[in-house]
Amino acid sequence: MKKVERINVIMRYINNRAHFTIAEIMREFNVSRSTAIRDVREIEAMGMPLVSEVGRDGGYFVMHNSVLPEVRFTDNEVKALFIAFMATRNQQLPYLKSRQSIAEKLLSLISESQQDDLILLNQILLFEGTNPHNPDLLDLSDLPHPMVEMLFQTLLMDRYLFITTDEENIQTSYPIYLLHLYHEKSLWLIEGFDLKEEKKRIIPVDQIIDVKPCPANKRVNEQEITEKLNKHAETANLVLELGAKAIAQFRKYHPLKVSISYTNPFQTTAVLKMFVDVNKPEELNEMTNWLLFLGEDLEVREMPGEVLECLQERSELYCP
C-alpha cells in the first residue's frame, strides 16, 4: 500500500474510534512502530484533532466533530462503484431516490477521463433487468414497495415489531422478532419469530399494511428466542456430496438459506445439508429444478422419496 493511500485509510480508521494506540495501528496496517508514529504525526499535522495520553495504557483520543479531508477515489474504485450501481438498478432496492443523488455527486467528483470510461461502460455492460434501449445509470422507474423503506427505518431502531398484514382482505396482526429482511425472486420478505405462536414465520412485505414497535409486554428475551428456534430447528433430510462442477453451479445460483461446507482445502468437494418440506408442492418443484441445475457431479447421501420421484419423472420426461 502506498504511503498516501495508507495515510487516508488510517485517518478513516481512527476517525471511527474514540481511542486507539500505536500498537493497534502497527497490527492493523502491518507497519513498524516508527512508521506508525510518523503516520500519526503527519495526520495531526494535516489538522485531525488528536489528544495523546501518557502512561502504560496510553494512546490517542479523537476529539469530537473532527472533519476528514476530501476523499479521492482511484480509477478502479470509481469503476467498482459505477458497476455496483449498474448491477443493482431495477432491483426494487430501498433508497433509490438517494441513489440518484449519490450517483450525481460521484460523477461530479471524478475527472473527465474517468467520466468517459463510465460512459463507455454504460454503453457496453448490461445486467438483468436493464432495458438495452435505455441503459441509464439514473433510471429509477422500478421503485420498491413503500413499506420496504419504512421497515428499514423501523428495524434499525427496534427488531421487535408489531405487524399488520392484509391477505385477500383478511387483516391479521401479530408481534414478531425480526430475524432477516431479504430479497428473493423479485420479492421482499421478512423472516421473523412469531412471539405469540412461538414459531418462525415468512411474511411477504407486499402484504404488510402497518408496522409499529412491539409493546413491551409482548416481548421475549433474545436468548429465549434463540433457544426456541434451535429446539424447533428442522433436521436436514437432503444431504449431498458435491464435486467441482456441482460447486461451480452452486456458486452461480442457490436458494438464499442454503450453504455448503467444503471438505478439502482446495474447495473442490463439499457437503450440502438442508431441509425440504415435501408437503409443499411449490417448494418440492423448485427444489427438483434446482437439483437438476446442479448437474450430475454429486452423490446422494440422503434424499426424501418424494424428491427422488420428482427427479425420476423429470428424467423420463427429458429422456424418453
The domain that holds 7 is classified in CATH as: 1.10.10.10
Distance CA 56, CA 69 (A): 31
- CATH label of the domain that carries residue 264: 3.30.70
Q: How many domains does the chain have?
A: 4
Same domain, 224 and 259: no
Question: What is the residue range of 218's domain?
Answer: 146-231
- Note down pLDDT in tens along the chain; length 320 residues: 778 778 888 887 887 777 888 888 888 888 898 898 888 888 887 777 777 765 555 678 776 555 555 566 778 888 888 888 877 776 777 877 777 777 777 777 788 888 888 888 877 887 776 666 655 544 545 567 788 888 888 888 899 999 999 988 899 999 999 999 988 877 889 999 999 999 889 999 989 999 999 999 989 898 999 988 888 877 899 999 999 999 999 998 888 778 899 998 888 999 999 999 889 888 888 889 999 999 999 999 999 999 999 888 877 655 44
167 within 8 A of 154, measured Cβ to Cβ:
no
CA distances (Å), 18 to each of 59, 112, 148, 206, in order? 11, 38, 33, 42
- Is residue 190 assigned to a domain? yes
pTM tops 0.85, yes or no: no
73-113 tens-digit pLDDT: 778 888 888 888 877 776 777 877 777 777 777 777 788 88
Q: Identify the DSSP state of 233.
A: P
Long-range (24+ apart) CB contacts under 8 A made by 64-73 are 66/15, 68/11, 68/12, 68/15, 69/11, 71/8, 72/8, 72/109, 73/106, 73/109, 73/110
Boundary-marking domain end, from 231, 258, 276: 231
pLDDT digits (tens, 9 = 90+) for 294-320: 999 999 999 999 999 988 887 765 544
**Span between the terminal Cα atoms of the chain, in Å:** 60
For every residue of 298-313, DSSP letters joined together read EEEEE--HHHHHHHHH
